[in-house]
Amino acid sequence: MVMKASLQLKMGQSLTMTPQLQQAIRMLQLSTLDLQQEIQQALESNPMLETTEDDQDDSPQEQDTDHTDTQETTEPAEATSSDDNWDESEWSPDNNSAETIPDDLPVDTAWDDIYQSAPAPVSRGDDDNDMDFDSRNPATETLHDHLEWQLNLTPMTDRDRAIAHALLDAVDEQGYLTVSPEEIHAGFADSGDEDPVELDEVETVLRRLQHFDPPGVFARDLQDCLLIQLNQLPADTPWLDKARLVVTHYINLLGNRDYAQLLRRSRLKEDQLKEVLELITSLNPRPGNALDQSEPDYVIPDVIVRKDKDRWRVELNPDIAPRIRVNASYASLIRRADSSADNTYLRDQLQEARWFIKSLQSRNETLLKVATRIVEHQQGFLEHGDEAMKPLILSDIAQAVEMHESTISRVTTQKYMHTPRGIFELKYFFSSHVSTDQGGECSSTAIRAMIRKLIAAETPKKPLSDNKIATMLGEQGIQVARRTVAKYREAMQIPPSNERKRLV
């Protein structure tokens, strides 16, 4: 078979995103913190952009010239703030040539080739007010560091200190030993020393370490952890001996909340067992959590909702990002007939600045539009709480604002709304629905609130089972299965009925 090379001409349609559209989509899905970093990078990489204050908003507006007008402009072009409507006229004060600044780049141009973002530098304030980063953000001490610090203050022989370091390395984040003392001893026995470490030495060092802070560290298991804490309490602590008895011999019954067996075997009366359980529950089963290193997550709301004269008003948070505009001084340096490298650079940077501000305006407008529709649909929640939440899906908002569902998904991801009832992610207001006996619909969020309310009002001695909760909801006209109740309960991190049982 002989293959011949040939040329063919084909026509077809394809959808290609311009660099401007790529940037607008990317900015739409940025969170507040990511958006602030994006703006900072743009301000550092593009000399045409600058921040503007409220007292500077009365500056002269941009001078507009028609594309076909040949009259020479005498006033330098001024930039508008991010709240102004942009006009597509030229920015150059010199109109001697018909050359115009293009509004769009070719579709085969990648945005990364045009917009090169620089890393955001560390902002520096006044010397009098600027503090060192380490002093403002001190390094948090870990559990291992805390135990190491105590070990360095404890007098020990070199032999015991080596054992202590081995035990310290075996402690997890919650303060428990991940290996047994026997395994620690085996590790030293394999070292081939002439005077091998004995198991009794490991046990002795372990008992010393179990007196470290926080109480309960270096425990083998939960029972050991609770006993260590009980042994460190003052001898005159009420019910201390009975608490040791329950933890030592009946911890399995305690974990299963089998209070009937616990009462019978411990020979305690109900009021006595209640006092013992109060003492045991005051202990910390995870002592390492006292030095939890998780950093707090600060949420900056993108949208603020408030009630004004019986009407709910939605507005963007003015503090989420600095207001930016085009630097009028640099924009006035552009000469239309000049094709030098410097002039070309300024012209390109000006176009990028205009694109960036337009993308930022588009993001804010879309976010405000979507948030307004959500508030209109969920006024019952704002007035009465979770139980009044209505079913809502992405397609409902997409049809209302005439946008695609994917756009609504981007807008509602990592965007937060400040309401009189708290701060919620926009996705919180979206939920599926369950049909009611009256032919209506009830949102899953409202059902979760009802389940939480029923559990909060239950009798601690006889908590409600998932089947009983489903029956009680059915009496209110909401038909849900037992497994659905269990799924919602687990999503709210509420334990099952056998674990909610209390002795009162």
Determine, yes or no, domain membership for 228. yes
Cis preceding-peptide flag for 214 (omega within 30 of 0) = yes
- Taking residues 10-18, report their average pLDDT: 74
Distance in angstroms (rounded) separating the CA atoms of residues 149 and 212: 10
Higher-confidence residue: 442 or 165?
165
pTM of the model: 0.64
Does any domain span residue 350? no
**CA gap 127, 91 in Å, rounded:** 39
Say what the pLDDT of residue 122 is: 42
| pLDDT exceeds cutoff 70 at 389 | yes
The structural domain count of the chain equals: 2
Q: What mean pLDDT is predicted for residues 123-133?
A: 45
Confidence of residue 192 (pLDDT cuts 50, 70, 90): low
Q: Is the pLDDT of residue 357 over 60?
A: yes
Provide the pLDDT confidence category of residue 1 given band limits of 50, 70 and 90: low
% of residues, the chain, pLDDT over 90: 49
Cβ contact 243:280 at 8 Å: yes
Tell me which of 53-62, 241-250, 302-311, 443-452 is least confident: 53-62
H or E stretch at 442: strand 441-443
The gap from C-alpha 52 to its chain's centroid, in whole angstroms, comes to 30
**Which range marks the domain in which residue 228 is found?**
143-291
Q: Provide the pLDDT confidence category of residue 293 given band limits of 50, 70 and 90.
A: low
What is the end-to-end Cα distance of the chain in Å, rounded? 91
Query: DSSP assignment of 145-174, as one string?
Result: HHHHHHHHTS---HHHHHHHHHHHHTB-TT
Q: What per-residue confidence (pLDDT) applies to 94?
A: 42
**Which range has highest mean pLDDT (23-27, 123-127, 393-397)?**
393-397
Quick one: which of 419, 481, 489, 412 has its CA closest to 450? Answer: 489
Residue 441 lies in a domain: yes
Q: Read off the CATH number of the domain in which 486 is found.
A: 1.10.10.60
Whether residue 169 lies inside any domain: the answer is: yes
pLDDT at 74 (0 to 100): 30
Q: Is residue 43 part of a domain?
A: no
Q: What's the confidence (pLDDT) of residue 350? A: 92
Question: What is the average pLDDT across 130-155?
Answer: 74
Task: Work out the percent of the chain whose per-residue pLDDT is above 70.
Answer: 78
For residue 264, being part of any structural domain is answered with yes
Q: Say whether pLDDT at 501 is over 50.
A: yes
CA distance 288 to 144: 9
Q: Which of 291, 324, 349 is the last residue of a domain?
A: 291
Residue 348: which residues within 8 A CB-CB, separation 6 or more? 114
Inform me whether the pLDDT recorded for 461 exceeds 70: yes
Establish if 179 belongs to a structural domain: yes
Find the mean pLDDT for residues 394-423.
91
pLDDT at res. 71: 35
Token digits of residue 138: 């001190």
Q: Last residue of a domain, which of 291, 316, 339?
A: 291
CB 332 within 8 A of CB 54: no
Residue 466 within a domain: yes
Distance CA 420, CA 382 (A): 7
Q: Which of 291, 321, 340 is the last residue of a domain?
A: 291
